[in-house]
Amino acid sequence: MNTLEHNKAQYRRFIDVIFNEGRIDQLPEFVTSNYVLHDGPPGTPPGAEAIRQIVTQFRAAFPDLKITIEDQVAEGDKVCSRATTRGTHRGTMFGIPPTGRAVAMSGLTLVRFVDGRVSDSWVKNDVAGLMAQLRAT
């Protein structure tokens, strides 16, 4: 398998293990020790702790969280993925108490790989669309 295909497969595995299965203890296998989330929301901790916080927050609010990668492209040391995040709102999210609603959020993520692990990521999710679904009456 060439490096581009390997990086795409590794990112898919990262999403499955860390986000979909919630096995955040496996983070060191997938991210470098100096990992950087370039566009995290204010208050996001540095390093892999950012991922740990985000996964914990989303899985508490959406215990059945499932991210599906719809498309991927790779070039050089980067992989870009278009994904859909789905789940049922069972816990507080963004200060909104559980609604029981099934929601879906689209997003794009660009990651950079160093030595087979994610070193940087840029994430653009449709958080406004998610909040609108949670607040819908």
User: What local confidence, expressed as pLDDT, does residue 71 receive?
Assistant: 98
pTM above 0.85, yes or no: yes
CATH topology of domain 3-135: Nuclear Transport Factor 2; Chain: A, (3.10.450)
Cβ-in-10-Å burial (0-12, 13-18, 19+) of 132 comes to exposed
Cβ-in-10-Å burial (0-12, 13-18, 19+) of 71 comes to exposed
Measure the CA–CA gap between 69 and 66, rounded to whole angstroms: 10
- Contacts (Cβ under 8 Å, ≥6 apart) of 69: 11, 12, 15, 81, 82, 83
The torsion of the CA quartet 106, 28, 13, 115, rounded to 10 degrees, works out to 100
Q: In 10 A of CB 136, how many CB atoms?
A: 9
The domain ranges of the chain are 3-135
Alpha carbon distances (Å) from 51 to 1, 19, 75, 82, 123: 28, 9, 24, 18, 11
Question: How confident is the model over 29-62, as pLDDT tens digits?
Answer: 999 999 999 998 888 999 999 999 999 999 999 9
User: What local confidence, expressed as pLDDT, does residue 4 receive?
Assistant: 94
Q: At residue 1, does pLDDT exceed 80? A: no
Q: At residue 137, does pLDDT exceed 70? A: no
Question: How confident is the model over 74-119, as pLDDT tens digits?
Answer: 999 999 999 999 999 999 998 999 999 999 999 999 999 999 999 9
